[in-house]
A and B are shown apart, each in its own frame.
Chain A
């Protein structure tokens, strides 16, 4: 089972910031928080990941709470092309683990 909880759907107005929440209360110390998105009929696209600190890249920002039990993915200026299913995943995805366990994600609809 997925170790994360996400709302099933969200709407966001085009040009506004989209804030997607994720709860991961059982995260362990060596597990990262990963975000992927999947646009209809395409493979999952990596967005960002973090361990403890907030992270930002050209696509998004990731805010992780101090206790690491929840996080928020921020798309600063949502466009119609950001309409997708967004998956929040916790995994060490490296030496100790080998897979990502996907839940159902959040379906983000960007409204014109």
Chain B
């Protein structure tokens, strides 16, 4: 499967713990995006990378959220000191940077904070 891959698919954590999600984009894609989706809502943009550079991070929900893409390939999204309100599906997507190119999504990582 050469699509966007996310791991883990499901995570249950206790409030206050840190969690990390990994995303492997489609191999020739230089842009990588993170979105969050809560129940009943459409996906909400969080941040994106072009190669290893994080070009937009103002939409990250708080300073507890951080993302990295150190070598311009896979990316991680970390949530520190999780809160119950962080329970959501975290989606990764990738694309090429040319105009009109399609953004492809992974299957998402479900987070439940108890």
- Residues of A at under 8 Å CB distance from B? 2, 30, 32, 34, 36, 41-46, 49, 51, 85, 87, 92-96, 98-105
Query: Contact check: which of B99, B102, B105 meets A92 at CB < 8 Å?
Result: B99
Q: Beyond A43-B105, A98-B55, list 6 extra A-B contacts (CB 8 Å).
A: A41-B110, A42-B108, A44-B105, A49-B102, A93-B95, A95-B98
Does B62 have its Cβ within 8 Å of any Cβ on chain A?
Answer: no
B residues neighboring A (CB under 8 Å): 4, 31, 33, 41-45, 48, 55-56, 89, 91, 93, 95-108, 110
Residues of A within 8 A of B55 (CB): 98
* B112 vs chain A, min Cβ distance (A): 13
Chain A at the B interface: mostly helix, strand, loop or mixed? loop
- Would B44 and A43 count as touching, CB distance under 8 A? no
Q: How many Å from the CB of A91 to the closest CB on chain B?
A: 9
Partner of A93 from the list B44, B100, B107, B108 (CB cut-off 8 Å) is B100
> Chain A: which residue is nearest B42 at the CB level?
A102
Q: How far, in angstroms, from A102 to B48 measured CA to CA in the complex?
A: 16
Q: Which residue of B lies closest to A32 (CB)?
A: B100
Bound-state CA distance A98–B48 (Å) is: 7
Chain B residues closer than 8 Å to A43, beta-carbon distance: 4, 91, 93, 105-108
* Cβ of B54 to closest chain A Cβ, rounded Å: 11
Given contacts A44-B43, A98-B56, contact A92 B100 (CB under 8 A): yes
A contact residues around B105 at 8 Å (CB): 36, 43-46
- Which residues on B sit within 8 Å (CB–CB) of A103? 42
Contacts of B44 in A (CB 8 A): 102
Interchain CB contact (< 8 A) of A94 among B33, B41, B99: B99
Residues of A with C-beta under 8 A to B95: 93-94
In the bound complex, CA of A12 to CA of B111 (Å): 33
